[in-house]
């Protein structure tokens, strides 16, 4: 009996938005959910207590990075990633594929797997579906992703077809070494680029294998937002109603709202954390770049309507000063605020679905953005 469960609690009436709950061994995750990215076993600038304070129920860790440093065997030896980084809630790990393929010429794809050179020291490695699962299990991941190729955009139909077929074979190999029913969930990843026929084929092949959840991969790779939305709209209904759906690497607040409206339950993106370190702050009234001179003597918080620790205690003039002075607290406070914003956006979406007013929530979201 699997320890992983998804309950679909409510289906919105006017959109595809869904309210759900994932239950796994390390806790519950209310969906739609956003997963802060903790690449190297830390969400940059956030203490685990702060992540809990802002309501994060699950984080994402990167297999590729942890494989290279400090190494999955060390993490296993130290009792797993949760213990290592002092985070006792669920962790989803990506498969390493996305990062490996990002290396471009430094990687070579074969049926067996992908050989690549480390971006850190140039050392050579071979990442296979089996090794990816082994690494993710060594880390102690709660939700493991299949090893696949994230297809670049644009790409020729033939390339997309071959790659998607190979990813399906790799997905089977992942399932073979991580069968259903254990403590760890395994999610399949639908590929197929921007080709509907290949997306459908991929979705069908993955469901024949059978996974605890399904993701859309290969989106937010440079295509127009409208193309991404159309593909979500096409592909998400191809997936089981009673299992979680995850759109990988997405995205902006707008992307998240549109993803939810199309039936997506899970998101992850480096945007809130990376933007924070670059002084770009999210608010319901749009983004602001804290380094701008206009904030020199601005005594307002980032967002006067925000209830986060940062907005309750610090003014823009101080945050600008910290950013310009390259202070550690600039990253700490900016990250805290941005992740709080993302978590609140998800919480608001969940409440609105529960109350059958998601469509109004989406309207209000765009109205506020436009009042900046």
Q: Please say if 12 is a catalytic residue.
A: no
Taking the complex as a whole, the smallest distance from the CB of residue 337 to a second copy amounts, in Å, to 13
Catalytic residue among 142, 148, 265, 268: 268
Taking the complex as a whole, the smallest distance from the CB of residue 39 to a second copy amounts, in Å, to 9
Among 20, 32, 45, 263, which residue sits at the site for a second copy (rule: CB under 8 A)?
45
Taking the complex as a whole, the smallest distance from the CB of residue 249 to a second copy amounts, in Å, to 21
φ/ψ of 30, rounded to 5, equals -80, 130
Using the contact rule CB under 8 A, the part of the chain among 92-100, 207-215, 324-332, 351-359 near a second copy is 324-332
Q: Which helix (H) or strand (E) segment is 68 a member of?
A: helix 63-68
How far apart (Å, rounded) are the C-alpha atoms in residues 173 and 58?
26
Q: Does 332 bind a second copy (CB under 8 A)?
A: yes
Give the count of residues interacting with a second copy (CB under 8 A).
Answer: 34
Q: Which helix (H) or strand (E) segment is 50 a member of?
A: helix 48-53
Q: What is the per-residue DSSP string for 144-199?
A: EEPP-----SS--HHHHHHHHHHHHHHHHHHHHHS-TTSSSEEEEEE--TT-HHHH
Among 297, 307, 363, 366, which residue sits at the site for a second copy (rule: CB under 8 A)?
297
Cβ atoms of 17 and 23 within 8 Å: the answer is no
Q: Does 165 bind a second copy (CB under 8 A)?
A: no
Q: 76-95: which residues touch a second copy (CB under 8 A)?
A: 77-79, 84-86
Using the contact rule CB under 8 A, the part of the chain among 18-26, 179-187, 239-247, 315-323 near a second copy is 315-323
Q: Does 322 bind a second copy (CB under 8 A)?
A: yes
Counting Cβ atoms within 10 Å, is residue 52 exposed (0-12), middle (13-18) or buried (19+)?
middle
C-alpha separations of 231 from 95, 165, 200, 366 in Å:
22, 19, 11, 22
Q: Does 293 bind a second copy (CB under 8 A)?
A: no
> Hey, is 128 helix, strand or coil?
coil
Q: Does 25 bind a second copy (CB under 8 A)?
A: no
> Hey, is 125 helix, strand or coil?
strand
> Hey, is 361 helix, strand or coil?
helix
Q: Does 70 bind a second copy (CB under 8 A)?
A: yes
Q: What is the per-residue DSSP string for 92-105?
A: EE--SHHHHHHTGG
Catalytic residue among 94, 142, 148, 265: 94
Cβ atoms of 101 and 149 within 8 Å: the answer is yes
Q: Does 44 bind a second copy (CB under 8 A)?
A: yes
Q: Please say if 297 is a catalytic residue.
A: no
Instruction: Name which of 321 and 357 has its Cβ closer to a second copy.
Output: 321
Indicate which residues carry an active-site annotation: 94, 268
Residues that bind a second copy (CB under 8 A): 40-42, 44-47, 69-70, 74, 77-79, 84-86, 296-297, 299, 313-315, 317-318, 320-322, 324-325, 327-329, 331-332
């Amino acid at each position: 009996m699997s320890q992983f469960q998804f309950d679909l609690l409510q289906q919105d009436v006017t959109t595809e938005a869904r309210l759900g709950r994932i239950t796994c061994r390390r806790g519950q995750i209310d969906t739609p959910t956003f997963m802060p990215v903790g690449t190297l076993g830390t969400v940059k600038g956030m203490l685990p207590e702060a992540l809990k304070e802002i309501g994060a129920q699950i984080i994402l860790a990167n297999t590729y990075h942890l494989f290279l440093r400090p190494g999955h065997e060390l993490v296993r030896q130290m009792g797993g990633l949760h213990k290592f980084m002092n985070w006792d809630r669920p962790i989803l790990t990506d498969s390493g594929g996305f990062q490996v393929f990002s290396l471009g010429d430094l990687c070579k794809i074969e049926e067996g797997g992908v050989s690549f050179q480390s971006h850190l020291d140039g050392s050579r490695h071979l990442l296979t579906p089996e090794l990816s699962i082994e690494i993710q299990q060594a880390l102690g991941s709660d939700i493991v992703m299949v090893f696949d190729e994230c297809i670049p955009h644009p790409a020729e139909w033939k390339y997309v077809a071959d790659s998607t077929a190979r990813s399906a074979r790799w997905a089977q190999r992942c399932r073979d070494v991580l069968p259903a029913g254990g403590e760890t969930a395994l999610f399949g990843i639908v590929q197929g680029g921007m080709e509907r026929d290949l997306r459908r084929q991929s979705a069908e092949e993955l469901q024949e294998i059978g996974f605890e959840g399904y993701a859309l991969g290969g989106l937010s790779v440079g295509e127009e937002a409208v193309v991404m939305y159309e593909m979500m709209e096409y592909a998400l209904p191809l997936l089981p109603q009673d299992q979680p759906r995850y759109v990988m690497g997405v995205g902006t607040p707008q992307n998240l709202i549109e993803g939810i409206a199309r039936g997506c339950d899970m998101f992850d993106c480096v945007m809130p954390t990376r933007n924070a370190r670059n002084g770009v702050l999210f608010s319901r009234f749009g983004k602001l770049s804290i380094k701008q001179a206009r904030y020199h003597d601005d005594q307002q918080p980032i967002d006067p309507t925000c209830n986060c620790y940062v907005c309750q205690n610090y003014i823009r003039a101080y945050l600008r000063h910290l950013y310009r002075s390259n202070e550690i607290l600039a990253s700490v406070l900016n990250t805290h605020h941005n992740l709080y914003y993302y978590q609140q956006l998800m919480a608001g979406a969940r409440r609105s679905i529960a109350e059958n007013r998601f469509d109004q929530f989406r309207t209000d979201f765009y109205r506020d953005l436009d009042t900046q």
